[in-house]
Structure 1
């Protein structure tokens, strides 16, 4: 059996109020791509912390194979606020060195190309700092990478880029990845194994999120009848995975016959005809019409000529890069932003419920207990033809009964998100707008939320970077591209294609300063740019000569080496491969620069 890159034996971790892990034994071997799921508070981040060496277990031990390098992204960064973006990512390396490295250029382009290279870390927003921390990690050489919620603050393109990066970062069957994320599309796209953290243990499953759902349904079906609520919810989730996302479930490890047998009696996730009938009854035929609407702040045009008739019962996802105008569009719909051109017409019966990112609904009730908040609402609501109390609704969203006594301000981020969503629904809006609703939410909570929204007769607008959520709860998607709203018949895939075409059609370097987009240029170089490019070409040529000499020496050493010294030969082989990789990257950069110089 292969020696794990990172192994853990009999790990025990506890806090004064509870035991997090009893005795956990796990290992990461070459080629593992492991996604970690579980409820908030069950120990996912603690497990990553122990495996990466950031947390010392109270019992057991963590071991690493000799020479293994582990890089970790935790939920808080240790960046120096006084440094610039560039210093944080590449340190004191001369520009010609890091700009000549194709991997570093790719990471910078994928994560921070919109950030000023000379901006101080202390001046950045939390999301921008997060992206700098991720870029700083990914330019390093690591055998194992540990990522805790890496998709937070990334847009759809950034998440897609990160998925491709980690899939192609190591050769097949080498390197190791551990990732905690609520982004289920990312889990399915990247991971070949899933670990579920629950009840002080770590339970392994084969495959990504879709395969995990199937296996968990099988496990729950064989468990005691007390699991019936969760089982039914996950069977509904599985039914959607089979019907709505065939590309995901076509992976060999996803046993399709078994899945079909499990879901043969599960109805579709929602009945769009019935939901639309109920929505028209509650809303009338006019919801909100945007006619040639635009928003301009000074010289900056954020939205232009947006024409959109929102229909009763419509379920629409809205995509767009960070800063493209998604929140401004929601502001137009909510009436908190006034158009500077065009007009907006609202139906007389519209009751809007907005779930924002700031927990604004909870600001004035932070000192109240959850039970007190619920007591102020009406006693029952009708959902799926049945009377439901607020407490039952909250339980349906995965809120434990013992937390009813807690004060709102003391709740965790995930618990606040549950309560925020509940209060929004209890206000009985007929138009619901959700702005990044997946923040601070685990996969179980997301599945419960989706289940609840399936039966809620309202028009639904969702702004999110969570591809899985958009495809699961909405029936169509729009994108904001260059300030205009565009329908996407092909969904998220079409949006990513349009963004790639948009980027390639721009002149290189447009939309970002040279400092924030290193290595970019154009055929019409200025004199100073041409001299800089020629200097870099000369530096690359010198480095290529050195690499060629190094490889000649390494091959000679391998020929003279004791052939029984496997470890020594392996080390020399690794050095040769590293030199070969660097050579390929430098040659690519040399060709790019040669084309620019002409």
Structure 2
């Protein structure tokens, strides 16, 4: 493979910190490299040095002659007065850019729902990001540098972007260097991972899962000072190996080695203990949405929502921007009143929400972190039974990545990620029994996300999460729902099912607008793509219907069993354990049925 770009002995320092020292790396054709590391360790700086945006204090960067390089930075430089069309294709006439297959694909993947003549200044952060990506991707580049390309994008846009980058060049052509905290995205597109830490760049083969395996192996041979990061990495590896079948079926790291490393790692969550504690804290009634709907004037946002939230439930919510996710969570928290149906709340329910806004910290803006936590409770209980642990706010801060020196830092001077973690701490110390997380992964690096996931694994209560971070959503929740066309829909097949449903919805809308057929073309296209027809297709559809009936029946039984736990003698640990084992057995059957359901729906397209 031809060499594209090289860096030799790069050194860069600021008045108070050496960022990179004697770094030597190279990029060849066919490379798809992800850059990971803690915030502030130099990931974006390394990318800017390689792209020529920054000049090193010493060392040099060399390029192959005629190399075409495209750069996507975190901050956009779009002209607010331009239209979307002008920003993306410039002054090219429509017949010129519409005749280019790549341009059509990029516009269809990123901009179909945006008015072509809309001003850039009128767009949201996510819309601006899509325009910025489209502006980059319609052009021909030999090497693309992308700094946090998934920021502000929803699950659909991230999935499209991954597919585009995977198919953009032939296998051994072109190159990509990407900085991102999105671990699913890293695993999906990268063939190598660079970790930036302690002023060096350490290379690993493969994507995120392979990187975690190799880092565990490295850490096992390292000194005890790495013990904390090692334990978190091993726990994450255990989930990667034991997690969603769609992930573990990909041979991205050595299975035998992974099994040996996680042999003594227990399941990431003690579901029986957490469920029992959740029931004892919440009782059988949490929040029930009964045929609930919300309308604003003539606009209906939600309708006929039937959702009985169980004690200890861990649910992820999916939906496009504007679908009604925030309204749905507002019904649960009590911030939104239904305009139809009703919401029933248990007497002991205490709901807290981690919002996307940092306004909650404004009252502490000028206070050092130490002063903020000194006014809070003196201890916090994690887990249950023999695994329960009492942590002080200071210990919690340490688990969330704060150093002792940062305790004297005013809140206003914290980074975005640090402020986000302090927000989470304040929410947890309120000891809610229903926790709502609204895009909690913003401004977090991969190590800190693993630490927060570890914290949530021992949190006993009902957890509801809205996030575009697919990895985080799959990692901390046990089931997913979607808001589609104003209704709440369970997703037995998880995020892959959601993407399939959204694709079907788009095809139906395209069919309606193109020929007034009401979307009748979409199922035909799906049948043709699936390769199933005639008797085989009818048999598959019949089996899917039977599976859905059985899953619904089991889920109803599980809900009733969970509610019955509240009436059981909480001191009867043996009886509670037996009932929880029965529930877990039913959940296991549901998971097996869901896998079969997912296989069949994939075959049907």
Same fold (TM over 0.5): yes
Question: Is 2:127 the partner of 1:128?
Answer: yes
* TM-superposition CA deviations, 1:189-219 (whole Å, max 9, x none): 1001000000000100001000100110111
Residues 249 and 256 in structure 1, CA contact (< 8 A), matched pair in contact too? no
Structure 2 residue matching 1:55: 3-state secondary structure: coil
Which residue number corresponds to residue 482 of structure 1? 485
- What's the counterpart of residue 204 of structure 2? 205
8 A Cα contact 1:211 1:249, kept in partner = no
What is the Cα deviation at residue 506 of structure 1?
2.0
Q: Which residue of 2 aligns with 1:564?
A: none
| CA displacement, residues 430-467 of structure 1 (integer Å, 9 cap, x when unaligned) | 00000011110110111001101000001000001111
Give the alignment of 1:167-316 within 5 angstroms: 167-316=166-315
Describe the SS at the equivalent of 1:19: strand
TM-fit CA distance, 1:127: 2.2
Distance 1:302 1:252 in 2: 42
Q: Which residue of 1 aligns with 2:324?
A: 325
Say if 2:382 and 2:460, in contact at 8 Å, map to a contact too. no
Partner residue in 2 for 1:362: 361
1:407 aligns with 2:410: yes
1:299 shift after superposition:
2.4
Paired residue for 1:69?
Answer: 68
Q: Highest Rg: 1 or 2?
A: 1
Question: What secondary structure sits across from 1:379 in the alignment?
Answer: coil
Q: Within 5 A, what are the aligned runs for 1:387-536?
A: 387-508=390-511, 510=513, 521-522=514-515
8 Å Cα contact 1:206/1:253 also seen in 2? no
Q: Cα deviation per residue 1:79-117 (whole Å; 9 max; x = unaligned)?
A: 111111110001011111112222112111211222221
Q: For structure 2, list consecutive stretches of 5 or more residues without a partner in the other structure.
A: 518-605
More divergent stretch after superposition (299-308 vs 487-496): 299-308
Work out the CA distance in 2 between the residues paired with 1:61 and 1:323: 47
Which of 116-125 and 453-462 deviates more? 116-125
> How far apart, in 1, do the equivalents of 2:401 and 2:200 lie?
20
Describe the shift of the 1:508–1:48 C-alpha distance in structure 2 as closer, same or farther (beyond 3 A).
farther
Q: Is there any run of 5+ residues in structure 1 with no aligned partner, and where?
A: 511-520, 525-598
Q: Is the partner of 1:328 in helix, strand or coil?
A: helix
CA contact (8 A) 1:144 1:175 kept: yes
Cα 1:246–1:221, aligned 2, differ >3 Å: closer, same or farther?
farther
Between 297-306 and 222-231, report the one with greater CA deviation: 297-306
Q: Distance in 2 between matches of 1:218 and 1:342?
A: 55
Q: Distance in 1 between matches of 2:516 and 2:173?
A: 40
Q: CA RMSD in A?
A: 1.4
Q: Deviations over 1:243-289 (max 9, x none)?
A: 01344344445111111111101000001121111111111111111
The reply to whether residue 375 of structure 1 matches residue 374 of structure 2 is yes
Of 388-397 and 331-340, the range deviating more from structure 2? 331-340
Alignment of 1:154-165 (within 5 A): 154-165=153-164
Q: Give the Cα–Cα distance (whole angstroms) in 2 for the partners of residues 444 and 167 of structure 1.
A: 25
State whether structure 2 residue 105 is matched by structure 1 residue 106.
yes
1:349 equivalent in alignment to 2:348: yes
SS class of match (2:38) = coil
CA distance in 2, matches of 1:12, 1:4: 22
Distance 2:216 2:435 in 1: 31
Q: Is the 8 A contact 2:323 2:486 kept in 1?
A: yes
Q: Which deviations, in whole Å up to 9, do the C-alpha atoms of 1:456-492 show, x marking residues without a partner?
A: 0010000011111111110000011111100001111
Quote the offset at 1:412 in angstroms.
0.4
Q: Distance in 1 between matches of 2:106 and 2:456?
A: 37
Shift of 1:508: 4.2
Distance in 2, matches of 1:88 and 1:126, equals 15
Aligned equivalents of 1:331, 1:96: Cα separation in 2: 47
Distance in structure 2 (CA, Å) of the matches to 1:488 and 1:429: 27
Residue 129 of structure 2 contacts residue 153 of structure 2 at CA under 8 Å; is this kept in 1? no
Deviates more, 1:446-455 or 1:222-231: 222-231
Counterpart contact for 1:431–1:458, Cα < 8 Å: yes
Match of 2:553 in 1: none
Distance 2:104 2:345 in 1: 47
Checking the alignment, whether the CA contact within 8 Å between 1:108 and 1:135 is kept in structure 2 is yes
Q: TM-score, normalised by structure 1?
A: 0.84
- Per-residue CA deviations over 1:214-241 (Å, capped at 9, x if unaligned) read 1101111111111111111111111111
Q: Is the 8 A contact 2:81 2:119 kept in 1?
A: yes
What SS does structure 2 have at the residue aligned with 1:5?
strand
Flag the structure with more relative contact order, 1 or 2, with Cα contacts below 8 A and sequence separation at least 6: 1
Please state whether the residue corresponding to 1:312 is helix, strand or coil: coil
Q: Aligned pair in 2 of structure 1 residues 457, 506: CA closer, same or farther (>3 Å)? A: same
Q: Which residue of 2 aligns with 1:95?
A: 94
Secondary structure at 1:506 match in 2: helix
Residue deviations 1:321-352 (CA, integer Å, cap 9, x gap) = 12111111111111112212111111111111
Give the drift of 1:298. Answer: 2.3
Query: Alpha carbons of 1:310 and 1:252: their partners in 2 closer, same or farther (altered >3 Å)?
Result: closer
| Alpha carbons 1:295, 1:339 under 8 Å: kept | yes
Q: Give, in whole Å, the separation in 1 of the partners of 2:204 and 2:298.
A: 54
Q: Is the 8 A contact 1:210 1:248 kept in 2?
A: no
SS at match of 2:3: coil
Deviation of 1:17 (Å): 1.1
- Say whether 1:8 aligns with 2:7: yes
Instruction: Decide whether the 8 Å contact of 2:436 with 2:463 is kept in 1.
Output: yes
- Give me the TM-score of the superposition, normalised by structure 2: 0.83
CA positional deviation for 1:3: 4.7
1:71–1:145 Cα contact (<8 Å) kept: yes
